[in-house]
Chain A
Amino acid sequence: MSQLGLFFALLGAALSALLAGAGSAVGVGRAGQAAAGVVTDDPSQFSKVLLLQLLPGTQGIYGLLIAFITMTQIGIMGGDSNISLAKGLLYLAACLPMAIVGYISACYQSQASVAAIGLVAKRPDQFGKAMIFPAMVETYAILALLVSILAIFGIANVNI
C-alpha cells in the first residue's frame, strides 16, 4: 500500500509538469508564429514580440516548480519515501490545480498573446497596454500555483 501512495504522489508531480509544460509548449509555439510574422516585416519589434511570446511559457515553469516541490516532499529526491496511500492521493489532488489550470491558461494566454502581437505590429507605442491583456490570464495560473504550493506544504503536517 505504501508503494501505491508514492505512485499517486509521483503521478501528481508528473501531471503537473506534463500538462502545464504541454500547455506552455503549445502557447509559446502559437505566439512564436505570430511573432515571426511581425519580425519578418519589422525586425525592430523583436524584443517586444519576444516578451509577448514568452508569456505563455511561465505555466511550464510553475508546473516544474510544483513537480520539484512534490518530489522533495515525498522523498524521491532523497530522504524517506515511505508515504501512505491517503497521503499519496492528497499529493495528487494538490498537484491537480497547477496541472489543469496550467494547461488551460497557457492555451488561452497564447490567444491573447497572438492578439497582442498583432496590436504591437500596428501600434508599437502601445506595447505596455498590449502586455496587460495576456498578463491578465497569468493571474489564474498564479492562483493555481499558490493553491498547489499551500496544499503540498500543508499535507506534510497531516498525520494520516
Chain B
Amino acid sequence: MPEQYLYAVARIRCKELTLLGSSVMDALLSTDNYNECLRVLSDHGWNGDGSTSPESLLSSERDKTWEFIGELVKDMSVFDVFLYANDYHNLKAAIKEVCTGTEHAGIYIDKSQCTIDPELIRKAIRDHDYQALPEHMQEVARQATETLLHTGDGQLCDILIDRAALITIYESGKKSGNEILALYGELTVASADIKTAIRACKTGKDLQFLNRALAPCDSLDLKQLAAAAADSPEAIYTYLDRTAYADAIPEIKKSPSAFERWCDNRIIRSIRPQIHNPSSIGPLAAYILARENEIKSVRIILSGKLNHLPDDSVRERVREMYV
C-alpha cells in the first residue's frame, strides 16, 4: 500500500462530496438566465473572487484545485502531465509575440497553472536562449521560431508546437508509472490525432502534412491513420472501426464538438474506478481531471446562458460527471 498517499486520498474522499454531480448540472441548465446560474453555483461554493465574469470564476475554481493538490503532494511534478499543454500554449504565444514584434495582454496562461513561468519562456524566445527552457521544449522552440521567422507560416509553427506538446504529455504519462496518468497521456494524444486527421482530411492536406502533425501513441497506427486521412473520411472511419475508438465514429460524423464530448466522457469513465481506490496517486489525478471536466461543463453552460442558446443545444455539450 503506497503509504504517502493515504492521508491525501482520505482528503480527496471528503472533497469528492463537493464535486458537482449531474443533478447540479441539470439545475444549472434549468435556470432562466446567467445570474440565476451564478446563484446556483454560489450555493455550491463557487463564489469566485467577487467578479461575475465567467473566466474569473472558472479561473478561481481552477486555482482552488491546484492549491488543494499542492497541500497534499510535496512534489507537484508528478502532475506536470496536466500542465504541459499550458506551457506549450505559452510557448506558442511567446513565439508569435516575438516574431510579430507585438505585445498582447492576457494571451499567456498564468504561471500557477504551468510548470514554467511564462515570463521565462518569453525571455528565452526573445533572446534566442533556448537552453533556458526545459529539455523537452528546447528543440521545438528553436525550430518553431525559425520556421515562423523564415516562412511566416503560423500554421506550420502551431503544428510543430502542438506535436511536441502531445509527445511530452504522452511520455510524461508513461514515465509516471501510474495507470491513470499514462491513460490520460494516451487518450489525449489519440483524440488529438483523430481530430487532426479528420480536419486535415476535410481541408485536403497531404500525407507530408499529416506525418508532421500526428503524434505517436500506442492505440493508433499513425501510418494507417495518415494514409486514411489522405484518402477520405470514410477511410478514416474504416480504420477507426478496427481500433479502440470504434465507438467514436458516430460522434465524429455528428460534429467536432460531439467527438470532443466523447473524448472527455471516455476519460471520465476510465478514471471512475478511482472513486473506490483507497491509496495511490490515482484518486488525486482523477480528482484533478474531474474538476477540469466540471469546469469545462460549467463554462459551456455559462456561455450558453450568456449567449441565450437553446437549452437542448447546451445540454448535448455538457460532459458526464465523475460523481
Spot the interface stretch: A1-9, A56-64, A84-92, A109-117: A109-117
Interface of A is mostly: helix
Q: Which one, A33, A110, A111, contacts B10 given CB within 8 A? A: A33
Per the bound structure, the CA–CA distance linking A114 and B3 in Å amounts to 11
Per the bound structure, the CA–CA distance linking A37 and B13 in Å amounts to 9
CB distance from A24 to the nearest CB of B (A): 16
Taking CB as reference atom, which chain B residue is nearest A36?
B7
Chain B count of residues within 8 A CB distance of the other chain: 15
CB distance from A127 to the nearest CB of B (A): 14
Q: Does B9 contact A (CB under 8 A)?
A: yes
Taking CB as reference atom, which chain B residue is nearest A111?
B1
> Are the C-beta atoms of B278 and A118 separated by less than 8 Å?
yes
Spot the interface stretch: B14-22, B44-52, B147-155: B14-22
Per the bound structure, the CA–CA distance linking A111 and B2 in Å amounts to 11
Contact with B along A9-49 (1 / 0, CB 8 A): 00000000000000000000010011111101110000000
Chain A residues within 8 Å of B8, by CB: 37
Chain B residues within 8 Å of A40, by CB: 7, 11, 14
> Are the C-beta atoms of A37 and B11 separated by less than 8 Å?
yes
Q: Does B279 contact A (CB under 8 A)?
A: yes
Per the bound structure, the CA–CA distance linking A35 and B11 in Å amounts to 9
Taking CB as reference atom, which chain B residue is nearest A31?
B6
User: How many interface contacts (CB-CB < 8 Å) are there between A and B?
Assistant: 56
Chain B residues within 8 Å of A111, by CB: 1, 278
CB distance from B16 to the nearest CB of A (A): 7
* Most chain B beta carbons < 10 A, residue from A34, A115, A118, A121: A118
CB distance from A22 to the nearest CB of B (A): 15
Known A-B contacts A36-B7, A37-B7, A118-B278; A30 and B13 likewise in contact (beta carbons under 8 Å): no
> Are the C-beta atoms of A30 and B1 separated by less than 8 Å?
yes
Chain B residues within 8 Å of A114, by CB: 1, 6, 10, 278-279
Chain A residues within 8 Å of B10, by CB: 33-38, 114, 117-118, 121
CB distance from B174 to the nearest CB of A (A): 28
CB distance from A21 to the nearest CB of B (A): 19
Interface size class on chain A is: 10 to 19
CB distance from A113 to the nearest CB of B (A): 9
> Are the C-beta atoms of A115 and B278 separated by less than 8 Å?
yes
Taking CB as reference atom, which chain B residue is nearest A112?
B278
Taking CB as reference atom, which chain A residue is nearest B71?
A40
> Are the C-beta atoms of B1 and A37 separated by less than 8 Å?
no
CB distance from B69 to the nearest CB of A (A): 13
Q: Which one, A34, A41, A42, contacts B6 given CB within 8 A? A: A34
Contact with A along B297-321 (1 / 0, CB 8 A): 0000000000000000000000000
Chain B residues within 8 Å of A30, by CB: 1, 3, 6
> Are the C-beta atoms of A37 and B279 separated by less than 8 Å?
no
Within 8 A of B (CB), among A97-133: 110-111, 114-115, 117-118, 121-122
Within 8 A of A (CB), among B162-211: none
> Are the C-beta atoms of B13 and A38 separated by less than 8 Å?
yes
Per the bound structure, the CA–CA distance linking A118 and B15 in Å amounts to 11
Taking CB as reference atom, which chain A residue is nearest B18?
A41
Taking CB as reference atom, which chain B residue is nearest A37?
B10
* Most chain A beta carbons < 10 A, residue from B8, B10, B13, B16: B10
> Are the C-beta atoms of A121 and B278 separated by less than 8 Å?
no
Taking CB as reference atom, which chain B residue is nearest A34?
B10
Chain B residues within 8 Å of A117, by CB: 10
Chain A residues within 8 Å of B278, by CB: 34, 111, 114-115, 118
Taking CB as reference atom, which chain A residue is nearest B14?
A41
Chain A residues within 8 Å of B14, by CB: 37-38, 40-42, 121-122
Query: Which A residues lie at the B interface, using CB under 8 A?
Result: 30, 33-38, 40-42, 110-111, 114-115, 117-118, 121-122
Query: Which B residues lie at the A interface, using CB under 8 A?
Result: 1, 3, 6-11, 13-17, 278-279
Give me the 9 closest cross-chain CB pairs, A-B, nearest first.
A37-B10, A41-B14, A33-B6, A121-B13, A34-B10, A37-B7, A37-B11, A115-B278, A33-B7
Residue pairs across A and B with Cβ atoms less than 8 A apart, 30 shown, are: A30-B1, A33-B10, A34-B10, A35-B10, A36-B7, A36-B10, A37-B6, A37-B8, A37-B10, A37-B13, A37-B14, A38-B11, A38-B13, A38-B14, A40-B11, A40-B14, A41-B14, A41-B15, A111-B1, A111-B278, A114-B1, A115-B278, A118-B13, A118-B278, A121-B10, A121-B14, A121-B17, A122-B14, A122-B16, A122-B17
